[in-house]
């Protein structure tokens, strides 16, 4: 257990620092500094220590054991860069639906996915890693993400895969300056390899 305390601390701190560095590169200074601070709270940190494996999220392991992850429920309710934060009940549709994520949180979500891929893949990381991970979850998460957010997320992840961080981060800086997105479906079709 003591071994896990240190290794989990190093893993989440490495992740946080990578997200912070990348957020700073596109101008999200406050979000970079505050990213994932809830991971150091007792409910999230102790779960991370208990289920630490080093190559995947401890929340996934907790979920496999219990059928849910209390740490994840705590985390997603406090961190707006997760699309799950932006799910609400629609009276019109009579079900849960995704709300369009504000552009600054969408960009932070991209940085989160890049950093997680770098931490968990290590030397095996490529610019395609975030897209590949998204492909594993795509079929069941797109039902809960707003269509504009899905389109823009996919456009950005494909751009990262095809053109790398330099071009993608330049695009993200422009997206943040515009302050919105919504033409992602058209961009995605044009950029699809």
Residue 121 domain flag: yes
pTM of the predicted structure, to 2 decimals: 0.91
CA angle at residue 175 from 26 to 130, to 5 degrees? Answer: 70
C-alpha radius of gyration, the chain, whole number: 17
Residue 6 domain flag: no
Residue 170 domain flag: yes
Residue 122 domain flag: yes
Task: Domain of residue 102: give its range.
Answer: 86-191
Residue 22 domain flag: no
Model pLDDT for residues 27-37, shown as the tens digit of each residue: 999 999 999 99
- Number of domains observed in the structure of the chain: 1
Model pLDDT for residues 94-125, shown as the tens digit of each residue: 999 999 999 999 999 999 999 999 999 999 99
Residue 23 domain flag: no
**Residues ≥6 apart with Cβ < 8 Å to 171:** 156, 159
Please report the pLDDT score of residue 182 as a whole number. Answer: 81
Q: Is the pLDDT of residue 90 over 90?
A: yes
Q: Is the pLDDT of residue 191 over 80?
A: no
Residue 100 domain flag: yes
Please report the pLDDT score of residue 55 as a whole number. Answer: 85
Please report the pLDDT score of residue 190 as a whole number. Answer: 46
Alpha-carbon distance values, 188 to 26, 103, 141, 158, 162 (Å): 21, 17, 18, 8, 12
Q: Is the pLDDT of residue 188 over 80?
A: no
Q: Is the pLDDT of residue 164 over 50?
A: yes
Please report the pLDDT score of residue 2 as a whole number. Answer: 78
Please report the pLDDT score of residue 73 as a whole number. Answer: 97
Q: Quick check: helix, strand or coil at residue 46?
A: helix
Main-chain phi, psi angles of 57, to 5 degrees: -70, 130
Residue 171 domain flag: yes
Is the Cβ–Cβ distance between 88 and 99 less than 8 Å? yes
Write out the H or E segment, with its range, that includes residue 115. helix 103-121
The DSSP string of 47-96 is HHHHT--SSS-HHHHHHHHHSS-HHHHHHHTT-TTSGGGGEEEETTTTEE
């Amino acid at each position: 257990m003591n071994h896990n305390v240190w290794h989990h601390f190093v893993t989440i701190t490495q992740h946080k620092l990578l997200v912070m560095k990348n957020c700073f590169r596109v101008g999200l200074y406050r979000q970079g500094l505050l990213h994932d601070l809830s991971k150091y709270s007792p409910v999230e940190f102790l779960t991370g220590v208990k289920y630490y494996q080093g190559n995947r999220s401890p929340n996934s392991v907790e979920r496999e054991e219990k059928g849910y992850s209390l740490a994840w429920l705590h985390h997603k309710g406090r961190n707006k860069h997760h699309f799950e934060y932006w799910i609400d009940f629609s009276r019109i549709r009579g079900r849960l639906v995704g709300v369009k994520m504000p552009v600054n949180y969408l960009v932070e979500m991209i940085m989160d996915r890049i950093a997680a891929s770098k931490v968990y893949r290590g030397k095996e990381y490529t610019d395609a890693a975030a897209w590949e991970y998204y492909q594993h979850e795509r079929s069941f998460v797109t039902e809960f993400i707003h269509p504009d957010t899905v389109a823009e997320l996919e456009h950005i992840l494909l751009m990262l895969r095809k053109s790398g961080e330099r071009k993608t981060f330049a695009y993200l800086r422009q997206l943040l300056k515009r302050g919105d997105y919504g033409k992602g479906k058209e961009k995605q079709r044009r950029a699809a390899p």
